[in-house]
Amino acid sequence: MDDIPILDNHIHLKEQGSGLEGAKEFEKAGGTHMVLVNLPSWSYGISLTEPDDYRKAFQKTVSLAKKIEKNLDLDVYPVVGVHPAELTKWMEAGRSLSKTIKLMKEGLRIARKFVEENKAVAIGEIGRPHYSVDPKIMNRSMQIFKFALEQAKIAGCPVQVHMDKLNSENIKDLKDLVEEVGIEEKKVIKHFAEPAEMDLKEFNYTASVTARKQNINKLDLCSKKPFMFETDYLDDPNRPGAVLGPKTVPRRFKWLLNQDKIDKSKIIEINKKLPEKIYNISIEL
């Protein structure tokens, strides 16, 4: 597989976790490109008190991406944003709702600037809690989600969306929001996607499918819905290997290739042609 690009579309790495070592594992398994997504602020030990705290978190991701590129034969594309769980996290910590929302919006403006300064290729993870919350919190989350999409529209970049599993009901929420803001549908990347979500015809988003074997077995590799694979590796020492380890995406492509379930041109379509179009990048070996 040496001559084929392999991209993990949603992986987290941090210096306090495996950092460069995690990237090394990905490379050793055959990975060549990664979309490195910023973690929620508290994952870096940051106790959010001012907008600049987000800048510090984003900068950690950007610096690690540079370090990986310097030390390994990998291309790393940072994605920065304000995770939807920030709202419930800081509420539980007894913070003020209005102040937290203000900070999150400031953080999203900073994320936009990172994209405008070419330090990041997209804004993410943004969205709404995937778990059930107080309707008031959900309402506010949707407002922040909209604000995040507006920042992406200004920067002209895609977004990585974290939200509840899509179905024929809630997909309307997403579609309406995206239409209202006026972002191209395919620039909306649904992270943590499962094959069942891809059958929804209402909205032509891009799916970032968790590379579990059961997902890949169910996935129609010829689906018209654009898709990439991800691990959502959390790089959390307390949850080793969660969600999937850094070697998973290259291993799955090898497995698919060995089983004759996929050919090289399809792998190139998923790992090069699509991400090039979505992120406006150039994927070379």
φ, ψ of residue 190 to 5 degrees: the values are: -85, 110
Is 75 or 232 the residue whose CB approaches Zn ion more closely? 232
What is the radius of gyration, based on Cα positions, of the chain? 18
Residue nearest to Zn ion (CB): 232
Rounded to whole angstroms, how far apart are CA atoms 207 and 113? 25
Is 130 or 213 the residue whose CB approaches Zn ion more closely? 130
235 part of the interface to Zn ion, by CB under 5 A: no
CB of residue 22 to Zn ion, shortest distance in Å? 14
Alpha helices in the chain (DSSP H): 20-28, 52-71, 85-92, 97-116, 135-155, 171-181, 195-198, 213-218, 248-258, 264-268, 274-279
Place of tokens 């991800």: 230
Judged by CB under 5 A, the residue of 232, 235, 244, 249 near Zn ion is: 232
Burial bucket for residue 83 (CB in 10 Å: 0-12, 13-18, 19+): buried
CB of residue 189 to Zn ion, shortest distance in Å? 12
The region of 45-53, 70-78, 231-239, 246-254 touching Zn ion under the rule CB under 5 A is 231-239
Is 4 or 43 the residue whose CB approaches Zn ion more closely? 43
Is 28 or 130 the residue whose CB approaches Zn ion more closely? 130
The region of 16-24, 127-135, 228-236, 248-256 touching Zn ion under the rule CB under 5 A is 228-236
**Does the N-terminal peptide bond of residue 150 adopt cis geometry, omega within 30 degrees of 0?**
no
CB of residue 135 to Zn ion, shortest distance in Å? 25
Where does this chain bind Zn ion (CB under 5 A)? Answer: 232
